[in-house]
Structure formats: C-alpha cells, structure tokens
C-alpha cells in the first residue's frame, strides 16, 4: 500500500497442493535427519479451514513429523494468527495443544496473545492491548508478558516482534526474547524502515533468531545474537520486493556494524 491506501494481504491458497499435505506424504525420518530445529507457522494450519476441509491435513503431518524428529530437535512456532484464514476459536482449538505440549520456541506478538488468550503485558491489560489503547512497553512489561507465556505453555524461549506503523511507507521495528531461566535481550534501539514490501519480514526475523540460537552455546549470547541478526535481516528484507530475503551475510554484518558504530549512509560503489 501507499498513502492513503493501506496494504492488504490476500490468501490465494485455497485447495493448493500444500493445503493437502498430510500423513504418509513425507519421509520425515529422512527429512529431519540431523535436524536441530523444526519450524512451523500458524498460517500453515489455517489453510485447512480456509479451504473448508473436514480434516486438517497439515496438522496431521505435523504430528507425524514430531514423532519422527531426532532427539534434541527443538520445535519452533511463529503463531501468526490471520483472521482471513480462520476465526480465533478455530485457531486456538488447533494450536493450543501444540503450543502447550510440543513448542520449545514461540515467536509471537503482544496483540495475538492478548486477542486469543486474554494475556496482558505488565501495566497493560489484554483489553487495552486489543483496543490499541496502550503506550510504550518498557522492559518490565515485556518481561512480565513473556514470563506469563513461559508459565502457561512451558516454553523454553519466547520471542516478541513489535512493529510501529507510522505511515503506510514508514514503520519502526524492535524485538525481544527471553528464555525460561530469565535471560532477556531487547533490541538496543527501535529501527526505522522505509518500506518497499513488508511481507516476509516476520519470516526473515525468525531466521535471524534461529541463527543466533543455533550458532551460540551461551544462553544469554544466543538471545542477543538472535535478536540483533533478526532485526538487521528483517530491516533489509523489507526494503526488497517479494517475500524472499535476498540478503547475504556481508550485507547483514555491514548493517550491524553501522548500527553499532554509526555511519553507513553513503552509497557503496
């Protein structure tokens, strides 16, 4: 979108091949051999309802994958509620047991957890969050929110992405993550993005978070690296068209260095 026309997302996945991917269609032991983290998204399981199926094929496939994953393989979920795919009730009916029983790493937003589970964030109630009637979130608000999720769903790591839309063309972005032991890291600054295409920005951030989790052993450093790389990756991706982030490690490192040291605003020739 461009001012005054808002961005609108259309799901054209009804009856798509992916929506019918079910049990017995993937050799999960082979596909997940040596896998350290299995990621999925709430959007995935909304496709069955979106298509009007009596069965949720992808949900059945997930349970098959969970049975086949190697020991120590983490499960990550980007909750990603989309009202154009299914209702809140349909979403929670499908995802709550997965979240409670299987998810190690939950990626979500303040708004989704308030709307679907009635969860507030520190000083702000779920009702205030749903209405959009809440001010800036401080660290205590975010930590209380993530602590509540840990206690309710027994997760290992909770990550939150926060988008501040100033106009349809310019947004600000930050994120935070906390593990069950209380290690916590938040973006050191709120980053400004001049958008070209925001779609895929969340998926890109997820990849950055996982990069930190999978390449560091120290619990606090894992979160710090994941948040920093996730922020840099998504800010770059949202200046590119289409969903896939065509971003290399050198470009990510250059942006992280510019953020840390200043500069980086001249044309590269």
pLDDT of 32-49, one tens digit each? 999 999 999 999 999 999
Question: Which pLDDT value is given to residue 216?
Answer: 98
Confidence of residue 143 (pLDDT cuts 50, 70, 90): very high
Phi and psi at residue 203, in whole multiples of 5°? Answer: -60, -40
Structure tokens at 180: 């069950």
User: What average pLDDT does the segment 139-154 reach?
Assistant: 98
Is residue 155 helix, strand or coil?
Answer: coil
pLDDT of 201-260, one tens digit each? 889 999 999 999 999 999 999 999 999 999 999 999 999 888 888 889 999 999 999 999
Any residues with CB less than 8 A from the CB of 100 and at least 6 apart, and which? 152, 153, 154
Q: Measured between alpha carbons, how far is 147 from 152 in angstroms, rounded to an integer? A: 9
Any residues with CB less than 8 A from the CB of 155 and at least 6 apart, and which? 99, 103, 104, 105, 106, 149, 180
pLDDT at residue 5 is higher than 70 = yes
Q: Measured between alpha carbons, how far is 211 from 247 in angstroms, rounded to an integer? A: 14
Question: Which pLDDT value is given to residue 17?
Answer: 84
Given a contact cutoff of 8 angstroms between Cβ atoms, the answer to whether 85 and 51 are in contact is no
User: Worst-scoring range by mean pLDDT, 61-75, 94-108, 174-188, 196-210?
Assistant: 196-210
Given a contact cutoff of 8 angstroms between Cβ atoms, the answer to whether 210 and 76 are in contact is yes
Structure tokens at 197: 């295409």
Given a contact cutoff of 8 angstroms between Cβ atoms, the answer to whether 150 and 132 are in contact is no
Buried b (16+ CB within 10 A) or exposed e, 171-184: bebbbbbbbbeebb
Question: Which pLDDT value is given to residue 135?
Answer: 87
Buried b (16+ CB within 10 A) or exposed e, 84-121: ebbeeebbeebbeebbeeebbbbbbbbbbbbbbbebbb
Nearest to 9 by CA among 250, 200, 258, 178: 200
- Looking at the chain, the whole-number percentage of residues with pLDDT higher than 70 is 97
* Partners of 224 in the β-ladder: none
Any residues with CB less than 8 A from the CB of 255 and at least 6 apart, and which? 232, 235, 236, 264
Quote the Cα angle for 9-11-15, to 5°. Answer: 175
Going by the DSSP 8-state scheme, the letter that residue 7 receives in this structure is P
Given a contact cutoff of 8 angstroms between Cβ atoms, the answer to whether 56 and 91 are in contact is no
Count H helices and E strands in the chain, helices first: 10, 7
């Amino acid at each position: 979108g461009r001012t005054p026309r808002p961005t609108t997302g259309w799901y054209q996945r009804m009856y798509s091949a992916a929506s019918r991917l079910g049990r017995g269609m993937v050799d999960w032991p082979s596909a997940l051999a040596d896998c350290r983290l299995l990621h999925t998204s709430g959007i995935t399981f909304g496709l069955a309802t979106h298509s009007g199926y009596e069965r949720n094929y992808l949900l059945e496939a997930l349970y098959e994958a969970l049975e086949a994953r190697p020991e120590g393989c983490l499960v990550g979920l980007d909750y990603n509620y989309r009202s154009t795919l299914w209702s809140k009730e349909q979403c929670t009916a499908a995802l709550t047991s997965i979240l409670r029983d299987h998810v190690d790493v939950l990626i979500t937003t303040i708004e989704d957890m308030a709307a679907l589970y009635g969860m507030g964030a520190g000083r702000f109630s779920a009702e205030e969050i749903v209405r959009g009637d809440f001010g800036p979130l401080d660290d205590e608000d975010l930590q209380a929110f993530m602590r509540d999720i840990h206690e309710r769903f027994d997760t290992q790591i909770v990550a939150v992405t926060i988008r501040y839309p100033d106009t349809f063309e310019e947004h600000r972005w930050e994120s935070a993550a906390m593990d069950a032991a209380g290690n916590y890291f938040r973006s050191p600054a709120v980053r400004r993005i001049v958008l070209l295409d925001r779609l895929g920005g969340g998926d890109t951030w997820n990849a950055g978070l996982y990069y930190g989790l999978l390449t560091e052993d120290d619990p606090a450093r894992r979160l710090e690296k994941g948040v920093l790389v996730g922020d840099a990756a998504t800010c770059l991706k949202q200046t590119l068209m289409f969903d896939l982030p065509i971003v290399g490690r050198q470009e990510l490192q250059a942006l992280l260095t510019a953020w840390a040291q200043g500069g980086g605003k001249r044309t590269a020739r």
